[in-house]
Amino acid sequence: MLLSTLQTPRSLSRLTRHPHSFTSRASLTHQTQTLTPSSPSPPPQSEILSIRHALLSRRASAADLVLSQLARLRLAEPRLRSFLHLPDDDALLAHARRLDARIAAGEDPGPLAGVLVGVKDNICTADMPSTAGSRILEGYRAPFDATAVKRVRELGGIVVGKTNMDEFGMGSTTEASAFQVTANPWDESRVPGGSSGGSAAAVSARQCVVSLGSDTGGSVRQPASFCGVVGLKPTYGRVSRFGLMAYASSLDAIGCFGSSVADTGTLLHAIAGHDRFDATSSKQDVPDFQSHFVAVSSLESKPLKGLRVGLIRETIDDGVDAGVISAIRAAALHFEELGCSVNEVSLPSFSLGLPAYYILAVSESSSNLSRYDGIRYGNQVYADELDSLYGGSRAQGFGSEVKMRILMGTYALSAGYYDAYYKRAQQVRTIIRNSFKEALSQNDILISPAAPSAAYKIGEKKNDPLAMYAGDIMTVNVNLAGLPALVLPCGFVEGGPSGLPVGLQMIGAAFNEGELLRVGHIFEQTLENCKFVPPIVVDDIAY
Amino acid sequence: MASSIFRSLQVHPFMLYPTTFLRRRNGVFHLTTKATQSQTDTQQRQPQTKVSSSNSTQSKKLDKIPKDYEAIIGIETHVQLSTLTKAFCGCPYSYGSSPNSSICPICMGLPGALPVLNSKIIDFAVKLGLALNCNLAFKSKFDRKQYFYPDLPKGYQISQFDVPIATAGFLDVDIPVEFGGGHKRFGITRVHMEEDAGKLLHAENGNYSQVDLNRAGVPLLEIVSEPDMRNGIEAAEYAAELQRLVRYLGVSNGNMQEGSLRCDVNVSIRPIGQSKFGTKVEIKNLNSFSSVSRAIDFEISRQVQLHSQGQEDQIVQETRLWEEGSQRTITMRKKEGLADYRYFPEPDLPAVILSQEYVDGIKNSLPELPEIKRRRYEQMGLSMQDVLFLANDKNIAEFFDATLAKGADSKLVANWIMSDIAAFMKNEKLTINEIKLTPEELSELIASIKGGTISGKIGKEILFELLAKGGTVKELIQKKDLVQIADPVEIEKMVDKVIVENPKQVEQYRGGKTKLQGFFAGQVMKLSKGKANPGLLNKILLEKLNSKS
Ligand SMILES: [Zn+2]
């Protein structure tokens, strides 16, 4: 039977059946439960490739594609509020026409040609405001494109707008945006997660094809899980941070969202690689992730034979929703069906990650946010005296979550407290890094939920910051260890009009995003009867 | 490079932001205002001038310090590095360029901008660390020093805190003879790398201030001395030696007027025999070595006076400002407890790792340093005054050494440089690099005189020609037909001619008025257009005058 393949008896008893759990292809015949939708659905396709084929075969012009994508974006936008800034259609069409001209001239318009890319608002763009969701930067325009944005544009991608976020990345719901609250496309009464909630919601609702986010403690992975999209946090240093407004510099990473693993990998490939404007960016080679992808039709029966998968025991423990645990257990089963050996691994230092993360993140942020003083840019209050100018500008410009974190960080770095807080947190970080290294020497990838629950209601945790912080338990360790992690939807729990998606987190060795993408692609292609398209998406654009 | 990418920035309106209402209670920004008096420093500075001016002040002040107190002085020096670009971005820096003309998103601290270390700074820091006999940290790091001020765009300064690149060194100084002479060794606590801040420009009416970020992000080395100095002169000599060192190493122009070398001194006093340090007072706004010396001596007497009147509680931990006009220090700000800069490791920059090979490479490329040079000159038998004059200025020392390398005698070269050449430079306000005379020709000139080709007198004439217009000694001698006449037959002919033409004087001479020998010699010299070898001339003249008597 299906369950007999699980190795630890303890897990057996925990595995609960959920009406929305998927079944893997191999086990379908043994399943008796009802599935929604009941008919098999095709695995996710690469929208980027479809667009490319449409353009190169001249089935559609870039201008047509942009117009139809924009129409869908605008239709959903009043309900979701994913975007903070959208340029004129004319500006976008001008980009599209340039691509069409290149295609007409027989040139390759680039691998991202005609692809609408959403960009989180803390990533600088020269042609649109960049506010990081903060009042203090209202109307601020950067004089340069972030390196990641520059690379997207160089490859033909069209930046369609700036996505909503928790102010300066500080939050897990996007409710801490100074400007608007974004809704979850699966259930508009719920949060999309955060802090990259706008980027996740936009991809989920197909308002854009892919999007850039940033992940300091899970800000790409948790919203990917909440919105049922693929989210990738690359290895620290894989993608240049130049142009990313710093939250916690030693943890920040620009990440990617897509509706398929293939699209997410394509976007990562576009933005990854060394940048001489970021001293912490790595000179490691960037492999061609796409070439690792195997089409579903040519997959062997056990395509992941020999892959050692470690399920982190501490992540399927108390405090994690039963529905999430069962979805993850089912994903583990799916890995076994694909030929992997799945073992539970224990990371005893796992629970230390959350306090260590919050000390380090708030400490660094208290420093990184010092530059927002109202002197050179951003909102400045009128004052008679310098300290009042600083105090007033920052009091009015920052939201309460940001102020709280600045205060905590300032405290943690103060003379006399440094050793007790910052220094100890750094020691914990070293322990965590080593324990991941150890676990990844025994396993090729580690898996866990991306979040302890599916998307919760707007306002539910707004006044309970500790509960919100606790939600980051699954993701912060990965940032502390600087490792890459891929989140992809693996199942559903009950909630909303049609269920709420659950994300599986796969953690790999440093700079081994290629393996995560390869495994994730196979997982996704073989996962049946799970169509991660939210109800808000009613039409399909034919490329 | 970066500048081209950010070209769009040049037209941004926020460049010269009138940061209105930046009235500040303390006077910290007066530091950056240009000093009206111009003292010392600069390459034209003549050591003698400095010596005499500070000497008089010094001796006056020293008299006031009772013998039963001792002063403890330490110096923090900021040296601006002469790299082509700033510490963490591609902007060039040149002193005096128009406000906000050399800035970019990085040195403006715009959101999303990141620092990338200019590796030249490490080279310079290692050079200075080695030259100061320090231990180098093979793994050091950058830290953020955090405080708010409008000239600090990021709200923190990138600096080094607990692991500076160099520690525990020393600097050897020769105190000029006028101040008693002697050789002193001052300890160096640490050398660390950091970035400079911008400048505030205050409106005439005091209503607003503006921020000029040209200087923001310019690389600095901060050198902290041990509290080893005991009076103003020692402190000034320490600072002067540091200036020489950075100039010898080529890491900075060391110009105090432009703020490329800035000294903040800490002064405390204690009764002789007491081991506990007195309360330390910091003095800023020292724009020259003589102000370093005078400010310290003023501060010592101020503290001694308070102490000897039983008012030592009036000596408080504070920063005082040296006022050049009134020649005194005044309170700038009292330190209310220690400032907490909340240092923590700079996460945007990787650790600085040095390899032994790299350090050895730098070590082998170091030039001869002032202290070694002075010892070498001393061994040549030069007086300490000569030694200091020649070694104090890197360019003069190089000129001197190059002349010696052509085989000239060290004492003769030293004399020429210190007398006629120095006088010429002073009158014409030129540096030794600007005069037309080359070491080769000075050596040639000295050789020509020594070898008897020209007289010393003609040598001087040629020298001034060479200084002002250049050319070679040989050319000038030929062109002007200045070769000394050393042929006895030719000289004899001229002597005969003079004797024949002056029968009356010959008679007087022979009648006992032998003083007239000078007259005859002069006439012959005139006839030879100054070219007759004087020794030969006199010998022949005497023979002729005396033979017929
Ligand atoms: Zn710059």
Dump pLDDT digits (tens) for B230-243.
Answer: 989 999 999 999 99
Q: Which two tokens stand for residue A388?
A: 């009042």
User: Residues 6 or more apart from B452 whose CB is under 8 A from it?
Assistant: B484, B486, B533
Nearest-angstrom CA–CA distance, A213 and A23: 31
What's the pLDDT tens digit per position in B272-309?
Answer: 888 888 889 999 888 899 999 999 999 998 898 888 88
What's the pLDDT tens digit per position in A18-72?
Answer: 334 444 443 333 333 333 444 456 677 899 999 999 999 999 999 999 999 999 9
Contact B240, B184 (CB under 8 A): no
Residue numbers of A between 223 and 242 with CB closer than 8 Å to B: 241-242
The DSSP code for A41 is: -
Please answer yes or no on whether B111 and A137 come within 8 Å at the CB atom.
yes
Q: Which two tokens stand for residue A517?
A: 């993408």
* Closest A-chain CA to B117: A279
What's the pLDDT tens digit per position in A84-100?
Answer: 999 888 999 999 999 99
Q: Confidence class of residue B49 from pLDDT cuts 50, 70 and 90?
A: very low
Q: Which two tokens stand for residue B439?
A: 């070491």
AA letter at B63: D
AA letter at A140: Y
* DSSP-H helix ranges across B310-438: 356-365, 370-379, 384-392, 394-405, 410-416, 422-428
Three-state secondary structure call for residue B223: strand
AA letter at A391: G
Q: What is the mean pLDDT of residues B532-536?
A: 80
| ipTM confidence score | 0.90
Domain boundaries, chain A: 45-351+420-539
Q: Out of A250, A370, A386, whose CB is closest to B347?
A: A250
Burial of A519: CB neighbours in 10 Å, binned 0-12, 13-18, 19+: buried
Q: Which two tokens stand for residue B55?
A: 């000497």
Please answer yes or no on whether A390 and B148 come within 8 Å at the CB atom.
yes
Q: What is the mean pLDDT of residues B444-467?
A: 75
Contact A475, A218 (CB under 8 A): yes
What's the pLDDT tens digit per position in B314-336?
Answer: 888 888 888 888 888 888 877 66
Q: Out of B108, B111, B116, whose CB is closest to A277?
A: B116
Q: Is the CB of A127 inside 8 Å of chain B's CB atoms?
A: no
* DSSP-H helix ranges across A139-230: 147-154, 197-204, 221-227
Q: Which two tokens stand for residue B146?
A: 């955090």
Burial of A355: CB neighbours in 10 Å, binned 0-12, 13-18, 19+: middle
* Closest B-chain CA to A422: B344
In A136-251, the DSSP E strands lie at 158-163, 210-215, 230-233
CA of A511, closest CA in chain B: separation in Å?
A: 18
Backbone angles phi, psi at A505, to 5 degrees: -100, 130
Q: Which two tokens stand for residue B532?
A: 């007759």
For chain A, residues with pLDDT lower than 50 are: 1-39
**Which has the higher per-residue pLDDT, A115 or B181?**
A115
What is chain A's Cα-based Rg? 22
Q: What is the pLDDT of residue A275?
A: 97
Place of tokens 């928790």: A166
In A7-71, the DSSP E strands lie at 23-24
For chain A, give me the number of helices (H) and strands (E)? Answer: 16, 13
Task: Please check the confidence at residue B47 and state whether its pLDDT lies above 90.
Answer: no
Contact A363, A421 (CB under 8 A): yes
Catalytic residues of A: 120, 195, 219
Backbone angles phi, psi at B507, to 5 degrees: -60, -45
Q: How many CB atoms lie within 10 A of CB A346?
A: 12
Q: In Å, how far are A200, A452, B410 from A314, measured between CA atoms?
A: 26, 11, 82
Q: Out of A143, A278, A367, whose CB is closest to B12?
A: A143
Backbone angles phi, psi at A382, to 5 degrees: -80, 130
Evaluate the omega torsion of the peptide bond into residue A195 and state whether it is cis, within 30 degrees of 0. yes
Three-state secondary structure call for residue B73: strand
For chain B, give me the number of helices (H) and strands (E)? Answer: 18, 17
Half-sphere exposure of B327 (CA within 13 A, CB side): 10
Bridge partner residues of B319 (DSSP): B282, B333
CA of B254, closest CA in chain A: separation in Å?
A: 30
What is chain B's Cα-based Rg? 31
Evaluate the omega torsion of the peptide bond into residue B150 and state whether it is cis, within 30 degrees of 0. no
Q: How is the beta sheet containing B199-202 ordered, strand by strand?
A: B18-20, B208-212, B199-202
Interface test with B, best of A377, A384, A414 (most B CBs within 10 A): A377
Contact A471, A455 (CB under 8 A): no
Q: How many CB atoms lie within 10 A of CB B29?
A: 17
- The candidate with the shortest Cα–Cα distance to A239, out of A270, A262, A217, is A270
C-alpha of residue B91 to centroid of ligand 1, in Å = 4
User: Residues 6 or more apart from B380 whose CB is under 8 A from it?
Assistant: B410, B411
- Concatenating the DSSP letter of every residue in A247-313 gives SSTTT-EEEEEESSHHHHHHHHHHHBS--TT-TTS-------GGGG---GGG--SSTTTT-EEEEEG
Residue numbers of A between 130 and 169 with CB closer than 8 Å to B: 130, 132, 137, 140, 142-144, 146
pTM of the model: 0.84
Please answer yes or no on whether A373 and B105 come within 8 Å at the CB atom.
no
Q: What is the pLDDT of residue B499?
A: 84
Residues with CB under 5 A from ligand 1 (ion): B 89, 91, 104, 106-107
Nearest-angstrom CA–CA distance, A361 and A382: 31
C-alpha of residue B202 to centroid of ligand 1, in Å = 23
Nearest-angstrom CA–CA distance, A140 and A156: 25
Domain boundaries, chain B: 63-353, 368-480, 488-546
Q: What is the pLDDT of residue B512?
A: 83
Residue numbers of A between 368 and 427 with CB closer than 8 Å to B: 369-373, 375-377, 382-386, 389-390, 410, 413-415, 418, 422
Interface test with B, best of A137, A141, A277 (most B CBs within 10 A): A277
Please answer yes or no on whether A414 and B342 come within 8 Å at the CB atom.
yes
Place of tokens 């003379």: A415
Q: What is the pLDDT of residue B16?
A: 37
Question: If you count them, how many residues does chain A have?
Answer: 543
CA of A280, closest CA in chain B: separation in Å?
A: 6
Half-sphere exposure of A90 (CA within 13 A, CB side): 0
Nearest-angstrom CA–CA distance, A533 and A259: 9
Nearest-angstrom CA–CA distance, B126 and B147: 28
Instruction: Report the range out of B91-100, B127-136, B442-451 with the highest average pLDDT.
Output: B127-136
Q: What is the mean pLDDT of residues B247-268?
A: 93
Q: Confidence class of residue B191 from pLDDT cuts 50, 70 and 90?
A: very high
- The candidate with the shortest Cα–Cα distance to B345, out of B484, B469, B508, B163, is B163
Nearest-angstrom CA–CA distance, A184 and A500: 10
* CATH architecture under which domain B488-546 falls: Orthogonal Bundle (1.10)
Please answer yes or no on whether A143 and B8 come within 8 Å at the CB atom.
yes
Nearest-angstrom CA–CA distance, B110 and B90: 15
* Closest B-chain CA to A137: B111
Q: Which two tokens stand for residue B361?
A: 């490479």
CA of A391, closest CA in chain B: separation in Å?
A: 11
The percent of residues in chain B predicted with pLDDT above 90, rounded, is 37
Q: What is the pLDDT of residue B481?
A: 65
Q: What is the mean pLDDT of residues B107-116?
A: 96
- The candidate with the shortest Cα–Cα distance to B79, out of B247, B227, B201, is B247
Residue B530: left (phi > 0), alpha (psi -120 to 50), or beta? Answer: left
Q: Is the CB of A200 inside 8 Å of chain B's CB atoms?
A: no
Nearest-angstrom CA–CA distance, A458 and A536: 18
Q: Is the CB of A26 inside 8 Å of chain B's CB atoms?
A: no
The secondary element (H helix, E strand) that includes residue B537 is helix B534-547
The secondary element (H helix, E strand) that includes residue A364 is helix A353-368
Interface test with A, best of B342, B348, B353 (most A CBs within 10 A): B342
Please answer yes or no on whether B6 and A143 come within 8 Å at the CB atom.
yes
Task: Please check the confidence at residue B30 and state whether its pLDDT lies above 50.
Answer: no
C-alpha of residue B115 to centroid of ligand 1, in Å = 9
Q: Which two tokens stand for residue A210?
A: 């892919």
Q: Is the CB of A123 inside 8 Å of chain B's CB atoms?
A: yes
Please answer yes or no on whether B21 and A383 come within 8 Å at the CB atom.
yes
- Asked: is A45-351+420-539 a CATH 3.90.1300.10 domain? The reply is yes
Contact A133, A397 (CB under 8 A): no
Q: How many CB atoms lie within 10 A of CB B61?
A: 20
Q: How many CB atoms lie within 10 A of CB B272?
A: 10
Task: Please check the confidence at residue B5 and state whether its pLDDT lies above 80.
Answer: no
Place of tokens 């070595």: B289
